[in-house]
């Protein structure tokens, strides 16, 4: 063991709180996906849950080492189960850009550091600790509490929607809690707001294909495919979609209006309430300086792949760009293609759904209603743990496994159950990901209180 490793071993020894200690253990199991190797994490969690009386089932997938875990704490069956879902896999790392070992579970400066600290091993730890607390405290339950640890959430196919096709009876519930909204801190460390997602944006990709004549590069013709594609992309770069507010984003922005200083409070109010296009445009410009807020009020456009040409003396006959859109609920495929055709306005550029997109799979699932005992329990518990913070529904800016339930009409809510700062948030899927230890404990208290309210007799 070299000195550096010795130092890590000491600092990573114990985080001294149950949820943080569990998170350290989870981070040390490298579940970077691909390949994921989620089964190792399932075994670790199963070994903790079984002695506490949980029924634990592990569902293998066609890929070796990849499985889903469903644990159940039995109630008296008088009400339908409540389910809390978390994913075991994490995205990979750019190792050289981290200042700590991303898979060592380092504890320092009041944080647990490592890949998945926020997304979503922190959530696995909080949810696991909350359900284990129910079991340890022998709380009599009027409904089963189901805890899931899922595989392949990070954009891979053997995910929860895959599992639901064969195991829906194991996942069926009255309502569910999943990853999603944020508990955001102010610079002074106080919680500014608690946002609970009631819908997710949907990812869908279109391919732009520009066509021209394939010929010798010494005699260029006017119909060069790469130039046509470049012009189309340039038009998209200069184009901005209009703000489209859902019921939850309206409420979210009004919450921000209440918790902001002027002039931002005015911009938030104008975005929601103004009828003046100039004021709305000004509000959009100012609010959109925050990339997260920019994203949740509109369909976003991001070119992600380019493909053209095969040698330096041949003008290729076609050039392709894949554009990834994140759409708000209610956007139809027809709307999206029509809008892109209008913006690009070039008949030599075809616009079609990306092949690996499963066609244009824009989700038709609606926002989950907030009129449920689970949503009310989340609001009440947040009020106990963070009494100064307003609670608001939220449109999550990315996709999650919520689709498995929402498409079946089951209300599902999302939360990253720990207060974090903007700086912490920017590290998610990035470098030096970390989560505050005291936030993990607050989050465990929040989820435990929520489960008590919704499931205890």
Site string for Zn ion, 164-183 (x = CB under 5 A): ---------------x----
Q: How many residues bind Zn ion (CB under 5 A)?
A: 3
Site string for Zn ion, 246-285 (x = CB under 5 A): ----------------------------------------
Quick one: which of 31, 68, 29 has its CA closest to 151?
A: 68
Which CB, 259 or 400, lies closer to Zn ion?
A: 400
Distance from chain centroid for Cα 27: 18
Distance from chain centroid for Cα 60: 24
Asked if residues 131 and 73 have their Cβ atoms less than 8 Å apart, the reply is yes
Q: How far apart are CA 344 and CA 61, in angstroms?
A: 43
Among positions 96-135, residues that touch Zn ion (CB under 5 A) are 119-120
Measuring CA to CA, how many Å separate 361 from each of 152, 206, 351, 403, 434?
18, 11, 15, 12, 33
Our CA angle for 432, 42, 19, nearest 5°, is 50
Q: Is residue 200 part of the contact set for Zn ion (CB under 5 A)?
A: no
Task: Write the burial class of residue 222 (CB in 10 Å: 0-12 exposed, 13-18 middle, 19+ buried).
Answer: exposed
Which CB, 251 or 401, lies closer to Zn ion?
A: 401
Which CB, 207 or 415, lies closer to Zn ion?
A: 415
Which CB, 70 or 88, lies closer to Zn ion?
A: 88
- Biggest alpha carbon distance in the chain? 81
For residue 328, whether the previous peptide bond is cis, meaning omega lies within 30 degrees of 0, is no
Asked if residues 38 and 44 have their Cβ atoms less than 8 Å apart, the reply is no
Task: Give min distance, CB of 153 to Zn ion, in A.
Answer: 6
Which CB, 119 or 445, lies closer to Zn ion?
A: 119
Residues 111/115/117/120 CA torsion (nearest 10 deg): 180
Our CA angle for 235, 236, 238, nearest 5°, is 70
Which CB, 45 or 336, lies closer to Zn ion?
A: 45
Task: Give min distance, CB of 91 to Zn ion, in A.
Answer: 9
How many CA atoms are closer than 13 Å to the CA of 278, on its beta-carbon side? Answer: 0
Task: Give min distance, CB of 87 to Zn ion, in A.
Answer: 6
Task: Give min distance, CB of 119 to Zn ion, in A.
Answer: 4
Which CB, 309 or 399, lies closer to Zn ion?
A: 399
Q: How far apart are CA 194 and CA 180, in angstroms?
A: 11
Reported as type and span, the H/E element at residue 453 is: helix 437-455
Handedness of CA 335, 409, 243, 320 (dihedral sign): negative
Task: Give min distance, CB of 365 to Zn ion, in A.
Answer: 18
SS3 track for 345-371: CCCCEEEEECHHHCCCCCCCCCCCCCC
Q: How far apart are CA 380 and CA 384, in angstroms?
A: 6
**DSSP 3-state of 45:** helix
Which CB, 116 or 212, lies closer to Zn ion?
A: 116
Q: How far apart are CA 42 and CA 48, in angstroms?
A: 10
Which CB, 154 or 251, lies closer to Zn ion?
A: 154
Asked if residues 150 and 163 have their Cβ atoms less than 8 Å apart, the reply is yes
Which CB, 119 or 144, lies closer to Zn ion?
A: 119
Task: Give min distance, CB of 154 to Zn ion, in A.
Answer: 7
Handedness of CA 333, 334, 340, 343 (dihedral sign): negative
Which CB, 118 or 344, lies closer to Zn ion?
A: 118
Torsion angles phi and psi, residue 326, rounded to 5: -115, 110
Which CB, 61 or 160, lies closer to Zn ion?
A: 160
Task: Give min distance, CB of 401 to Zn ion, in A.
Answer: 8
Task: Note the residues at the interface with Zn ion (CB under 5 A).
Answer: 119-120, 179
């Amino acid at each position: 063991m070299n000195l550096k490793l010795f130092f890590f071993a000491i600092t990573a020894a114990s985080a001294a709180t149950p949820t943080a200690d569990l998170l350290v253990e989870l981070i040390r199991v490298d579940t970077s996906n691909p390949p994921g190797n989620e089964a190792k994490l399932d075994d670790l969690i199963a070994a903790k849950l079984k002695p506490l009386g949980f029924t634990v089932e592990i569902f293998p997938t066609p890929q070796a080492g990849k499985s889903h875990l469903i644990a159940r704490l039995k109630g008296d069956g008088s009400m339908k189960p409540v389910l809390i879902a978390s994913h075991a896999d994490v995205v990979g790392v750019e190792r050289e850009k981290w200042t700590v070992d991303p898979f060592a579970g380092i504890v320092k400066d009041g944080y647990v550091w490592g890949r998945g600290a926020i997304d979503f091993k922190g959530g696995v730890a909080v949810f696991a600790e909350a359900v284990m607390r129910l079991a340890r405290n022998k709380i009599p339950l009027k409904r089963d509490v189901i805890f899931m640890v899922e595989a392949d959430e990070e954009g891979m196919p053997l995910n929860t929607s895959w599992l639901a096709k064969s195991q829906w009876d194991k996942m069926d519930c009255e309502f569910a809690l999943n990853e999603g909204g944020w508990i955001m801190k102010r610079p002074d460390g106080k919680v500014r707001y608690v946002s609970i997602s009631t819908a997710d944006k949907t990812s869908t990709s279109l391919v732009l294909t520009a066509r021209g004549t394939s010929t010798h590069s010494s005699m260029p013709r006017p119909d060069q495919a790469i130039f046509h594609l470049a012009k189309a992309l340039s038009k998209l770069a200069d184009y901005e979609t209009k703000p489209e507010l859902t019921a939850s984003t309206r409420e979210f922005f009004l919450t921000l209006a209440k918790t902001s200083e002027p002039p931002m409070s005015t911009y938030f109010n104008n975005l929601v309430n103004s009828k003046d296009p100039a004021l709305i445009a000004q509000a959009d410009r100012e609010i959109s300086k925050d990339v997260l807020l920019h994203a949740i009020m509109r369909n976003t456009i991001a070119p992600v792949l380019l493909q053209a040409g095969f040698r330096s003396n041949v003008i290729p006959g076609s050039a392709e760009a894949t554009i990834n859109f994140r759409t708000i609920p209610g956007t139809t495929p027809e709307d999206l293609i029509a809008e892109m055709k209008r913006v690009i306005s070039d008949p030599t550029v075809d616009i079609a759904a990306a092949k690996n997109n499963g066609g244009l799979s824009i989700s038709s699932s609606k926002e989950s209603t907030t009129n449920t005992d689970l949503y009310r329990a989340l609001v009440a518990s947040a009020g106990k743990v963070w009494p100064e913070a307003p609670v608001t529904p939220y449109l999550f800016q990315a996709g999650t496994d919520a689709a498995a339930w929402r498409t079946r009409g089951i209300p599902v809510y999302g939360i990253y159950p720990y207060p974090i700062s903007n700086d912490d948030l920017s590290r998610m899927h990035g470098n030096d990901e970390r989560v505050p230890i005291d936030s993990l404990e607050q989050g465990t208290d929040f989820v435990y209180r929520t489960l008590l309210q919704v499931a205890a007799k």
